[in-house]
Every structure is written in structure tokens, then in C-alpha cells.
Amino acid sequence: MTDHFLGRRLGLVPVAALSAAVAALGCSSTTAPTNPQTTGETTPTAAPEDGGETASAPTGPKAPGFTLPTLDGDSVSLSDFAGDKVVLLDFWSTTCDPCLAEMPELIALYEEKKEQGFEILAISTDGPETLANVTATVSKIGMPFPVLLDKETEVMDRYNPKGELPFTVVVDRHGHIVLKRASYQAGDKKSMQSLVDAINGALAGG
């Protein structure tokens, strides 16, 4: 577990020769895959294997359940929101610049849609060496939603074995995944619109 964890963390260290790629594709400890469905585009869970553009299916695979500690010492489970809210899971890290660049857009989405039954769970994947930075980062950015700690990346591994960051998952009120979205690039309106459409569809679906 330790070698695997450190490998993922080292994959987030900025390298000058790769800075442009990191900004465009997000943070990852793995070699960038060739399939565009997993490198920077929004991926509906029901999309065909050939990578064609389709709308998200009303019902996708069941989202893996989890319980994680919060910054204030409480705990939150995905099942807490079942039947009540559409949940966006945002896997991020304080060492991932694209994660931090995306956060204001997620905050804006949350403020716009929270009264409609929308929740965001910001799941930090920071380990022991950077965990102390989480509280300060959350305070500086002003995250208004729950921040959970996935220190061993056990939950991220269930949703995103490749370890890409940021990584976003939209879960409907019935606990089904309707969309997965890997990485973030500022100004990518198509990707952001696909995310908004998935959230709106899940909210409208009841």
C-alpha cells in the first residue's frame, strides 16, 4: 500500500518539461492513455466503447458505497444522500493545480443548484505528507460543501483506478453513476457543459 500510495503522490509533483500537459490533462501518476474518453473529455457512463458522443443514460452502474472522515472529525457516507440528493464526487489534491483551478467552477455550480437537491463531496486524496495543507486550502478557496479525507486513496481506487486528478463523478438520487469526468482544462466549455447537462438531467429525473 505504501509504495502504491507514494507513487501516486509523486505523480502529482510538477515537472517543468511536462507542465503544459499537466495543465491540460490534470494530475495523474499513470501514463496518459490514448483513449480520449479518459484523458480530458466528459464521459457518460453509457457511452459506447468507440468513444462516440451520446447523452447520459437515465440509469448507470451502481456507485460504490463509502464512508469517509470529514475535516472536523465527523464522517459522511454516500448513502446519507440516497433518495434525496444528486451528488457530485470531486476527487482532488492540494498538490494538483488543475484541481484547484477547477474548484471555483464547482463552487459556482453548487451555489446555483444546491436548493434543487444538489450536493458536492470534495474528496481530498492528500496523504500524510500533504494532509496538513488541506484545511488551509479549503479555507483559502472557501469550499462551502463537505470536504472528506481519502488518505489511503481507497475510495478513489474504486472509482478511478488510473489515479487521474481531478476526477468528477455524478451520482443520481438512486445511487447510480450517470457521468464520469477525468481532468480539467480551463476554458473547455464543451466538457463543462456536459457536466452541467448531466447534473441537470439527474436533478430532473427525480
pLDDT digits (tens, 9 = 90+) for 65-123: 999 999 989 999 999 999 999 999 999 999 999 999 999 999 999 999 999 999 999 99
Mind giving me the DSSP string for 80-142? GGTTT-EEEEEEE-TT-HHHHHHHHHHHHHHHHHGGGTEEEEEEE---TTTTTHHHHHHHHHT
Cβ(94)–Cβ(124) below 8 Å: yes
Each residue's pLDDT tens digit in the chain (206 positions)? 444 433 443 344 443 333 444 444 467 543 233 232 333 444 554 433 333 333 344 568 999 999 999 998 999 999 999 999 999 999 999 999 999 999 999 999 999 999 999 999 999 999 999 999 999 999 999 999 999 999 999 999 999 999 999 999 999 999 999 999 999 999 999 999 999 999 999 999 87
What integer pLDDT is reported at residue 27 of this predicted model? 74
Please enumerate in sequence order all residues whose Cβ is within 8 A of that of 176, keeping only pairs 6 or more positions apart, or say none. 59, 60, 61, 62, 63
Mind giving me the DSSP string for 177-189? EEEEEE---TT-H
What integer pLDDT is reported at residue 206 of this predicted model? 73
Residue 50: other Cβ atoms inside 10 A: 6
Q: Is the model's pTM score more than 0.85?
A: no
HSE of 27, CA atoms in CB hemisphere, 13 A: 25
Domain assignment of residue 63, given as a range:
2-205
Q: What is the CATH number of the domain that holds 143?
A: 3.40.30.10
Q: What total number of domains does the chain contain? A: 1
What integer pLDDT is reported at residue 32 of this predicted model? 32
- Nine cell digits for residue 139: 479555507
- Nine cell digits for residue 17: 518539461
Place of cell 464547482: 106
**∠ CA 49-206-181, rounded to 5°:** 35
